[in-house]
Amino acid sequence: MLYLIGLGLGDATDITVKGLQAVKSCSRVYLEAYTSILTVGKEALEEYYGKQLILADRDLVEQGADEILKDADMTDVAFLVVGDPFGATTHSDLVLRAVNAGIPYKVIHNASIMNAVGCCGLQLYNFGETVSLVFWTETWRPESFYDKICKNRAAGLHTLCLLDIKVKEQSIENMMRGKKIYEPPRFMTVAQAADQLIQIIQRRREEGEELGLLTAETICSMHANVLVNANETLRQLLSCDLSAPLHSLVVTGQLHPLEVDMLRLNAEPNSLQHLHMIDSSTYMS
Amino acid sequence: MLYLIGLGLGDATDITVKGLQAVKSCSRVYLEAYTSILTVGKEALEEYYGKQLILADRDLVEQGADEILKDADMTDVAFLVVGDPFGATTHSDLVLRAVNAGIPYKVIHNASIMNAVGCCGLQLYNFGETVSLVFWTETWRPESFYDKICKNRAAGLHTLCLLDIKVKEQSIENMMRGKKIYEPPRFMTVAQAADQLIQIIQRRREEGEELGLLTAETICSMHANVLVNANETLRQLLSCDLSAPLHSLVVTGQLHPLEVDMLRLNAEPNSLQHLHMIDSSTYMS
């Protein structure tokens, strides 16, 4: 049996009881380690489970799936994923390979950022399409996420922005030389995300292009590991300094009075006036 | 401390280890019992936790919040919610009351239908706005969910349809007489959901109104407790007979080849041809 087990979003104890029982019964346990991270590392999980973990990087999952699935028709193998196994990153490819090899599989769900973000008090059924913000390079500065956010806002919907993660990435130079030397991991902060969004707004304004409904004064909700959250305008986020990764960002759409009350609970003092303005006018900042 | 604890979507062991520890430490434990249900009942949970549970129906949560929060500044109180506490139904009101009363609160997340639905292989970031399908009555037959599904499909997006739950509902007669007599609980099945959607399509066609992008041949994915799922056309769903509640339904948008492969894993024989058509033509049925 192949178990795909979600670890949730906090520490070692955020695994479900069912998931923990499965981990303990498996002969091999892989930890997917390139699309997300917990607040604790591999060693803390190993100690908690009483099991050795095998780190599964992108190479292993994408090219070494046979190794992961080896003998899984006769023994139990666990594949651990931060959040939910079918959350932001799905592992459909591994499932399809298992099925084709005649190996049964079982999914043990857990919270992922796709639902836990609701803790900021914004209603999940008022969210539109989720977007991904990628690190810009000198030559690649996509703006499609800005347009998607504006489209959601035009429909009154909030937008969850997943922020880029670069783990075990090679520099172009090392890649071209075939050297398996990896850059240090990078996790996009909300400040970096706000900076890219505001640069798009500025560029479009300067070049006379049409602007969407996302401005520097739009109220946003920012999260670090879904444990800390604070609500400010996009402009204020530029100077925000949240703790350790992972960060995520929600751009609000039309706000219900109850949503405004919830946002106020964690509002930065400077943005209270913006939330107050929402309250007294249109519910659309 | 007020703990809001998600129970996940399966049985008693789908609670997280962190959640279970919190339950065991609380002096009072409430089970929210009107927006969702597990595959096991209150008694099974009580046995598993070794704790008595207090059923919290809508009346208690909406009008008796003071009772739930009583002494929670000095003792620990748990409020258990099927899925995630901020999933499809949020409990913002209870949180706001706690904060206003100076009671700290902590959320322990878990899977909810909003993310676990990804197990069917459809990518969560390709979902648009979630819709709720309500039971029609003789005089109230809203159609807004149909338009939202069509809007999502026009943007290539999938739609999660939450199906209506009626627990402790009074008949209009009993309500007018002030009798606290409740109707038996009702859970909308995917067959009932498909029937309402197809009635909308037929009515609009007969009355010459504009039809959206959802037709009887659109591929849908249906779920019972996120444990069983099957993929068929909307028309085929009419005669489907899934096991116990809760059911949910996903109307597909534009399908990626990997999504088609995943849908095939659980496709009903009769709908394989439709999935094959998708594969060989436009990826938009």
| CB spacing of B124 vs A86 below 8 angstroms | yes
What confidence score (pLDDT) does residue A45 get? 96
Q: What pLDDT is stored for residue B270 in this prediction?
A: 61
Residue A156 class from Cβ within 10 Å (0-12 exposed, 13-18 middle, 19+ buried)? Answer: middle
At residue A219, what are phi and psi to the nearest 5 degrees? -75, 130
What's the pLDDT score for residue B183? 85
Q: What is the pLDDT of residue B285?
A: 38
Within 13 A of A227's CA, how many CA atoms are on the CB side? Answer: 13
d(C-alpha A191, C-alpha A203), whole Å: 18
pLDDT recorded at residue B272: 57
Distance between CA B14 and CA B82 in Å, rounded? 10
Asked if residue A44 lies in contact with residue A130, where contact means CB atoms within 8 angstroms, the answer is no
Cβ neighbours of A265 in B, within 8 Å: 95-96, 99
Chain A to chain B Cβ contacts (< 8 Å): 172
How far is CA B228 from its chain centroid? Answer: 14
Write the single-letter amino acid at B206.
E
By the CB < 8 Å criterion, does B134 face chain A? Answer: no
Ranked by mean pLDDT, the top range of A183-192, A227-236, B71-80 is B71-80
Task: Tell me the pLDDT band of A140, cut-offs 50, 70 and 90.
Answer: very high
Query: For testing the chain B interface, which of A17, A93, A157 should be mutated: the one with the most B CBs within 10 Å?
Result: A17
8 Å CB contact between B230 and B222:
yes
Taking 3-state DSSP, the helix, strand and coil percentages for chain A, each rounded to the nearest 5, stand at: 40, 20, 40
Residue B201 phi/psi, 5-degree rounding, is: -60, -45
Å between A169 CA and nearest CA of chain B: 23
- Report the length, in residues, of chain A: 285
Backbone angles phi, psi at A201, to 5 degrees: -60, -45
Write down the pLDDT at residue A283. 42
Residue range A95-121: mean pLDDT, rounded: 92
Is the separation of the CB atoms in B255 and B273 below 8 Å?
no
Give the burial class of A179: count Cβ atoms within 10 A of its Cβ; 0-12 exposed, 13-18 middle, 19 or more buried: exposed
pLDDT at B279: 43
Task: Report which residue type is found at B152.
Answer: N
The SS3 assignment for A109 reads: coil
Comma-separated ranges of CATH 3.30.950.10 domains in chain A = 114-280
Report chain B's C-alpha Rg in angstroms: 21
Residue A278 has pLDDT above 60, yes or no: no
In A, minimum Cα distance to B156 occurs at: A129
What is the DSSP secondary structure assignment for residue A230, as one 8-state letter? E
- At residue B203, the pLDDT reads 95
Beta partners for residue A223, in sequence order: A229, A248
Say if CB A220 and CB A267 are below 8 A apart. no
Question: Which structure tokens are listed for A161?
Answer: 């922005």
Residues A199-213, mean pLDDT to the nearest whole number: 92
- Comparing C-alpha atoms, which of A266, A8, A45 is closest to residue B5? A8
Q: Which of B95, B129, B258 sits opposite A93 (nearest CB)?
A: B258
User: Residue B42: what residue type?
Assistant: K
Q: Using H for helix, E for strand and C for coil, what is the string for B54-76?
A: EEECHHHHHHCHHHHHCCCCCCC
Report CA torsion sign: A226, A230, A234, A238. negative
Q: Compute the half-sphere exposure of residue A94: CA atoms within 13 Å on the CB side of its CA.
A: 35
Residue type, A123: Q
Pair of tokens at residue A239: 């100077």
Asked if pLDDT for residue A55 goes beyond 80, the answer is yes
Q: Do B114 and A115 touch (CB under 8 A)?
A: yes
Phi, psi of B126 (to 5 degrees): -105, 15
Confidence (pLDDT) at B25: 96
Per-residue pLDDT of chain B (285 residues; tens, 9 = 90+): 999 999 999 899 999 999 999 999 999 999 997 777 787 889 999 999 999 999 998 888 888 899 999 999 999 999 999 999 987 666 888 999 999 999 999 999 999 998 899 988 899 999 999 999 999 999 999 999 999 999 999 999 999 999 998 887 888 888 889 888 888 888 999 999 999 999 999 999 999 998 889 999 899 998 887 777 788 889 888 888 777 778 999 999 999 988 988 888 887 666 655 555 554 334 443
Q: Higher-confidence residue: B162 or A231?
A: B162
The closest CB to that of B128, out of A95, A108, A128, belongs to A128
Phi, psi angle pair for A136, to nearest 5°: -75, 150
Which among A20, A119, A130 is the nearest to B86, CB-wise? A119
Residue ranges of chain A assigned to CATH 3.40.1010.10: 2-111
A112 touches chain B (CB under 8 A): yes
Of residues A246 and A156, more confidence is placed in: A156
With residues binned 3-state (H G I as helix, E B as strand, rest as coil), the percentages for chain B, rounded to 5, are 40, 20, 40
Superfamily of domain B114-280: Tetrapyrrole methylase, C-terminal domain (3.30.950.10)
At A268, the pLDDT band (50, 70, 90 cuts) reads: low
CB < 8 Å from B in window 38-77 of A: none
| Contact indicator for A116, B109 with CB cutoff of 8 Å | yes
Which residues does chain B have within 8 Å of residue A151's beta carbon, measured at their own beta carbons? 155
* B162 in reach of chain A (CB within 8 A): yes
Restricting to B residues 249-278, those with a Cβ less than 8 Å away from any Cβ of A are 258-259, 261-262, 265
Does domain B2-111 sit in CATH 3.30.200.20?
Answer: no
B155 touches chain A (CB under 8 A): yes
Query: Counting beta carbons within 10 angstroms of the beta carbon of residue B113, is it exposed (0 to 12), middle (13 to 18) or buried (19 or more)?
Result: buried
Percent of chain A scored above 70 by pLDDT? Answer: 92
pLDDT for res B282: 41
CA distance A130 to chain B (A): 5
Q: Does A89 touch chain B (CB under 8 A)?
A: no
DSSP label at residue B64: -
Which residue, among A238, A242, A119, A130, has the nearest Cα to A187 in the 3D structure? A242
Interface check B283 vs A, CB under 8 A: no
Taking only residues 166 to 225 of chain A, the set having a beta carbon closer than 8 angstroms to any beta carbon of chain B reads: none
What's the token pair of residue B126? Answer: 């390709």
Q: Which of A42-46, A87-91, B248-252 is the least confident region?
A: A87-91
Helices of type H across A183-248 = 190-206, 234-237
Has residue A274 got a pLDDT over 80? no
Which parts of chain A are beta strand (E)?
2-6, 28-32, 54-56, 77-81, 105-108, 131-133, 159-163, 165-166, 186-187, 219-224, 228-233, 247-251
Q: Residues A144-183: pLDDT tens digits?
A: 999 999 999 999 999 999 999 888 788 888 888 988 888 8
A118 and A69 in contact (C-beta within 8 Å)? Answer: no
Minimum CA–CA partner of A153 in chain B: B129
Rounded Cα–Cα distance for residues A198 and A220 (Å): 13
Q: Largest alpha-carbon pair distance within chain A? A: 64
Cβ atoms of residues B95 and B4 within 8 Å? yes
Q: What is the pLDDT of residues B120-138, one digit of tens each?
A: 889 999 999 999 999 999 9
